[in-house]
Amino acid sequence: MNLRYDSLRTRLIWPFVLLGYAVSAILSLASFTIFSALEEQAIERALAVELESFYYRSERNPDAIPPTASLLRGVRLPSTELPGIAAHVREDRVIEKVIIGDQRFSVLVAEVAGTPYALVYDRTDTDARLGRLALFLLIATIMMTLLSYLVGSRLALRLVSPIGQLLDELNEKAGKRDPRQADLGFVAADYPNNEIGELVRRIDAFARRLQGFILRENHFAADVSHELRTPVAVIRGAAEVLKSHPKMPEACLPRLETIQRSAVRMGGVLEAMLLLSREKEEGDDPACALSDVVEDIVADCRPSLARRPVELSLEVRAHPILPVERSLAYVVISNIVRNACTYTERGRITITVESDGVVVEDTGIGIPEDRFPTLFERHAKGVESEGYGLGLSIVARVAQRLKWHVELSSVSGRGTRVRLSFCPDLLPESSWNSR
């Protein structure tokens, strides 16, 4: 499974590792502190007991010798054996730690029978034991941290494994070329009976419901397209027959031409709507001469301006050939041009075909600034509009499918400028570089 996201398994393992390290480190530190404190108390007690014993023996026998043992002995001060210990007796009886050579000692200075003495305890073995204990606790902390990682990794794998299985199944279903024919459902029995299994059941119900919506939408689009193509073809054929009739009055020919062009446009719109209702297939390889499409759009829109002082001009600066469906290009550009014709009472409408885009400019009523946030939403229209507010939403939808970029600027009362920019990948190299 290709991880292109923050791994949930890693995020589950780290808390286990940190918890194991924190617990083992705290326990090790507490154990070392307690053991060290107990050793220090044992040394202090031994020195205190020997000092009291020496006091008692000195009182009974002034010539009593100081304590002499393997770990604890008494030395009369000053002494060359303890060069760093002064013959100064402190009232609080502080035990000092000194290092002489390779050995470590705890020293208690006291005055016995008027003579300063130092009780010396050899703590070399004690410090060695504390060092070994510290090393052992450090190794134990490392081992506990490693064990926490292994346990956390095992538990995280058990938790994440069903999610990985679900992701693989989702990727497989998303890769189906035709989701209408594939089974988009999930089998909850293949997953553990916990929150993940419940999630799979909910996804399964949602996927089957969504697939039903897709099938109904596709059937509706296909059925409507099929049912309307026949009458549109009949209207188109009848207009052609009437135009060629020798006794047809000249005054009726422009009307018949408009009917025929409208029938052709309706057929293209039906094809475009059918294309929008299905996903783009990899085998599609269309080619569209964009300047021819724009010329047809201009011819279709001229009759709507016949009784208004509006000049509709077309400037073709390039002839790009794009790998897009002709009907889709017609729909997106014709909607913009028809809007310009509808809302321009006088002045001019200029359409410019360039190598990397199409520009439509008009001197119409413009668009108020407060409408821009919802301009491309469905059923969003101004008070002056008599339509259903679908034109620009269709433009946005088709442009998104074709990977075109729509730039719109407008000043209320002065006109509107719309530019459709083609994706660089859709253009021949020569056309893009000629920009």
Q: How far apart are CA 217 and CA 215, in angstroms?
A: 5
Backbone angles phi, psi at 59, to 5 degrees: -65, -35
Burial of 417 (0-12, 13-18, 19+ CB in 10 A): middle
* CB distance 115 to 76 below 8 Å: yes
Tell me the β-bridge partners of 352.
315, 359
Residue 423, token pair as written in the block: 């994706």
Residues 431 and 435: their CA atoms lie apart, in Å, by 7
From CA 310, how far away is CA 363, in angstroms rounded?
A: 9
Residue 27 confidence (pLDDT): 94
Cα–Cα distance between 417 and 310 in angstroms, integer? 16
Closest C-alpha to 166, from 196, 189, 141, 194: 196
Strands 288-289 and 103-112, how do they pair?
unpaired
Residue 213: half-sphere exposure toward Cβ, Cα within 13 Å: 6
Distance CA 261, CA 215 (A): 33
Question: What are phi and psi for residue 123, nearest 5 degrees?
Answer: -105, 20
**Helix (H) and strand (E) counts in the chain:** 8, 11
Task: Compute the CA torsion angle 99, 102, 108, 109 (nearest 10 deg).
Answer: -70
Pick from 232, 238, 235, 240: nearest CA to 274: 232
Distances (CA, A) of 227 to 219, 220, 221, 230: 12, 10, 10, 6
Count how many residues are written for the chain. 435
d(CA 300, CA 253): 15
**For residue 432, what are its two tokens?**
């893009």
Tokens of 143: 């081992």
What pLDDT does residue 37 have?
Answer: 93
Token pair of 365 as six digits: 């009523």
Q: Which backbone phi and psi does 286 adopt, to 5 degrees?
A: -80, 165
Q: Contact 111/103 with Cβ under 8 angstroms?
A: no
In the structure encoding, which two tokens stand for residue 315, read together?
């400037």
* Interatomic CA distance for residues 240 and 236, integer angstroms: 6
- DSSP structural state of residue 6: -
- 314, 298 contact by CB (below 8 A): yes
Token look-up 């890693």 returns: 10
Would you state the pLDDT for residue 41?
A: 92
Full pLDDT tens readout for the chain, 435 residues = 454 667 778 888 888 899 999 999 999 999 999 999 999 999 989 988 988 888 888 888 887 888 888 888 888 888 777 777 776 666 667 788 888 888 888 888 888 877 888 888 998 999 999 999 999 999 999 999 999 999 988 888 888 888 888 888 888 777 666 666 667 778 878 888 888 888 888 888 888 888 787 777 777 767 776 667 767 777 777 777 777 777 778 778 777 777 877 777 777 777 776 666 666 655 566 788 999 999 988 988 888 888 889 999 999 999 999 988 888 888 889 889 988 998 898 999 999 999 889 999 999 888 888 788 877 777 666 656 665 566 788 888 888 888 899 998 888 888 999 999 987 555 543 333 322
Q: Are 148 and 21 in contact (CB under 8 A)?
A: yes
